[in-house]
Structure 1
Amino acid sequence: MGLIVNIIIIAAIFGFAGYQIYRAIKRSRQGKCAACDYDCEVKRMADKAKKKAF
């Protein structure tokens, strides 16, 4: 019983890791950085520069 639980936990960890890698590759193909979901300083500076250019 314990072995089955461990296998399920390991499969969930590897499945989630694979999903995260897939998402990162998918975003990089679109030209986005890995941190596009976050409101970081670099993103704010880029947005400000875009607004200033127009």
Structure 2
Amino acid sequence: MKHDPSALRQRAAAHRAMALAALRADSSRSVRLHRYNDHMAKARALEAEVLA
């Protein structure tokens, strides 16, 4: 099922923003890194879906 590419790009941008916010959060380093990596993986997957 194909999704709207602009909507996927917006979601990817939102996940990138959440990833950067995770780095600035008041949490332990390991938690911040885990949240950053999780959001960036989701952003990369969404961008890959746009390119597919």
More helix by share: 2
Q: TM-score, normalised by structure 1?
A: 0.46
Superposition TM-score, scaled by structure 2 size: 0.47
- Which protein shows a greater Rg? 1
Highest relative contact order (Cα 8 Å, sep 6+), 1 or 2?
A: 2
